[in-house]
Amino acid sequence: MTAYHRPFDVEYLENPSQERLRELTLQHTPACMVTAAGSINKVSRNKARQAKYTYIIEGTGSASAWSHQTISREKADEIIARQAAYIQEKGQLIAVDGYVGLGEKAFGATWLYTPEGANIAGMQQILSFPREEVEPKDALAKPYAPTFRLYYTPDLFLEDMPGRQAIIADMSTWTTYVIGPDYFGESKKGVLRMLNHYVFERGGLVLHAGAKAVTKTSGDKITMTVMGLSGTGKTTTTFSKQGDLTEPIQDDMVALWPKGYLSITENGCFAKIDGLTHESEPVIYAGTTSNDAWLENAFLEADGTFDFKKGVLTQADVKRLKDVLVATGANEANLLKYVAGEVSADDVVDENGVPKDGWDFVKWTQNGRSIIPMKSIPGAADLHAIPEVRSMGILNRDEGADAAMPGILRFTSPEQAAGFFMLGETSKTSAAGKERGKTRSPFTQPFFPAEHRLQAERFAELAATMEGVSMWLMNTGYVGGDAKDAKSGKALKVKIRHSSAMLEALLSESIKWKRDENFGYEIVDVDAPENAALVEKVPAEILDPSRLYAKNGRAGEYDEWVTTMSQARRDFLTRFGVPQPIVDATCP
């Protein structure tokens, strides 16, 4: 009889080595190329995770309403049967068995991929913990019994479904079926979405957060978590150095339990590489350019070297990459016009750098990624001995006309922190595709499948068990506008060195705070002598944005922002049914 986690009557390539997975990738996965470092880069059709094609089967799991869109059991079963038939026709599956996490809060998972998904299998294998690192020796001889299962068929297209693809989660069997996408994020998040619900049902809360162990000047060792939507700087902040010793733990998702206990999910990191430099992010740069990495949507020159700052493609670039671009969705007729010089980039890319429909190929995606194993990250924390969580923050990459959040602020109560974590405010980045502007995502968690208000309620419960925890927000974007405004002196960019200095001061507990009269949280008192060293490193107008607006004769804009923001926040929290004490603490 076929094992439950080997449900198909096909040949299984059982837990291939990384070397073998690279061989399989070059044999079976389209639009792949070898980099100058010897790693593999895949150019994918999907440039980001597709929430609009993700469904949860109705009537499964708990009685809670789902935050995701749903699909009927009948329709889901019909699509799942088509995937099973495709797998049987292929006759072969790559099997990856591993664990999400370590220790007592580790949960087993099996990922199965048809051969064209070999690169995704290679990436997923790096992020999962091998059985040998989790199970005692006597358990390894027994049949594997994973909690979660995911079946992935990148090149099965569903002509009768939106986008010709579907990601279907069955919470009654803890199984996800990924059909049509070729983007690694659907594999990673497919299991982590199920983990969200599984952990919640057991009293915890999964956070879309990086985590780092920090040894404070007092000698105390704590864990800091850093929440944020993709593109806000979670990975950058996680791997930046503060104090005498900081050790990265995770860069994307962790689970919080009572009394600040933290469990992890991944054995590596999934990092954005747009604009990556050795100077700004030395750890990520070294890992990304090593032979151990896997890459997705990195731009490679003809000799295989990386260009992490690539924007608009030249005619020569497009001509050289023609086959890859067409294979991943480029409009061939438009491509040929561009190569022939009949159309220029200025004709099809607007002032904000966004291409017109049908011309996306002209602008290289900013959502390139790398998978880096933890073993390639120098100074990583001991994942078997993680300190208790004593600092919790959220990143807001503010940008645009309504960018007025302070560089850093501190919440005055767990309820206030729960409210701002529930808001999950930021400005849409390249991970959101062409869309721009302010967005809100509860706990920055598009992967929490149940009602979002439950996150705020659970967080408040957990925070009540965490004595002495510091909770804060940091703006990683702009104050007063965007990049164009910063060039004209109308706005200020919050640079990586500013963020690092603010976190350094926060962790050293050297900041003299004052209450913000409009929102009730605490901001840096830039006039206090105790903050003189911080103000030397970070402009006072970043720490207290009202000063920038007053200085530029825009005080009226700031007052209007306060009024608009307060109402929008209250409306958002109320819409999700967040308990009133949390709403009142967030919007006084």
Taking only the tens place, the pLDDT of each residue in 297-350 is 999 999 999 999 999 999 999 999 999 999 999 999 999 999 999 999 999 999
State the amino acid at position 217 in one-letter form. Answer: T
* pLDDT score recorded for residue 488: 93
Rounded Cα–Cα distance for residues 317 and 130 (Å): 40
Phi, psi of 71 (to 5 degrees): -140, 145
Q: What is the pLDDT of residue 432?
A: 41
The secondary structure of 404-440 as a DSSP string is ---SEEE-SSHHHHHHHHHH-EEE--GGGTT--SEEE
Whether the pLDDT of residue 125 is over 90: the answer is yes
Looking only at the bridges linking them, the beta strands covering 107-113 and 205-207 are unpaired
pLDDT at residue 63 is higher than 60: no
Helix axes 185-200, 118-127, angle to 10 degrees: 40
Across 146-173, average pLDDT: 97
**Backbone torsions φ then ψ of 116, nearest 5 degrees:** -70, -10
CA pair distance 57, 168, nearest whole angstrom: 7
Ranges of each domain in the chain:
11-30+50-182, 206-268+382-586, 288-369
Paired tokens of 292: 């151990």
Helix (H) or strand (E) holding 586: helix 580-586
Q: How long, in residues, is the chain?
A: 588
Token code pair at residue 527: 């006039």
pLDDT in tens, 441-474: 999 988 999 999 999 999 999 999 998 999 999 9
Would you say the C-alpha torsion 413, 418, 423, 425 has a positive or negative sign? positive
* Spatial separation of the C-alpha atoms in residues 256 and 262, rounded to whole Å: 5
Q: By the 8 A CB rule, do 250 and 266 touch?
A: yes
- Greater model confidence, 62 or 42: 42
- DSSP strand E in 294-388: where? 294-296, 369-373
Alpha helices, DSSP H, located in 305-344:
315-320, 322-327, 332-339
pLDDT bracket for residue 61 (50, 70, 90): low
Contact 525, 573 (CB under 8 A): no
Tell me the C-alpha to C-alpha distance, in Å, between residue 522 and each of 335, 354, 554. Answer: 53, 37, 23
Calculate what percentage of the chain has a pLDDT beyond 70: 96
Of the options 3.90.228.20, 1.10.260.30, 3.20.20.70, 3.40.50.1000, the CATH number for the domain spanning 206-268+382-586:
3.90.228.20
CA–CA distances in Å: residue 49 to residues 99, 178, 224, 587: 22, 12, 27, 32
pLDDT higher than threshold 60 for residue 532: yes
The residue behind tokens 């999962």 is 128
Question: Quick one: what percent of the chain has pLDDT higher than 90?
Answer: 85
For residues 526-533, give the mean pLDDT.
98
More confident residue, 317 or 430: 317
Instruction: Determine the pLDDT at residue 437.
Output: 66
CA 68 to chain centroid: 18
How far is the C-alpha of 572 from the C-alpha of 569, rounded, in Å? 5
- Extract the tokens encoding 525: 């008192």
pLDDT for 3: 65
- On the question of pLDDT at 252 being above 50, the answer is yes
Q: Tokens representing 94?
A: 């790559």
CA distance 241 to 247: 8
Beta carbons of 190 and 50 less than 8 angstroms apart? no
**Which tokens go with 304?**
């295989």
Q: 283, 278, 281, 234: which is closest to 254 by C-alpha?
A: 234
Mean pLDDT of 126-144: 94
Query: Across the chain, what does the average pLDDT equal?
Result: 93
Residue 144 has pLDDT above 60, yes or no: yes
Residue 11, strand partner residues: 92
What residues contact 137, with CB distance under 8 A and at least 6 apart? none
Interhelix angle 555-575/414-423, rounded to 10 degrees, is 90
User: What pLDDT score does 490 carry?
Assistant: 94
Beta-bridge mates of residue 214? 222, 246
Higher pLDDT, 302 or 4: 302
| pLDDT at site 428 | 65
pLDDT (mean) for 129-146: 93
Q: What is the CATH number of domain 11-30+50-182?
A: 3.40.449.10
Beta-strand relationship, 166-170 and 54-57:
parallel
- Cβ-count burial 405-433 (b if 16+ within 10 Å, e if not): bbbbbbbbbbbbbbbbbbbbbbbbbbbbb
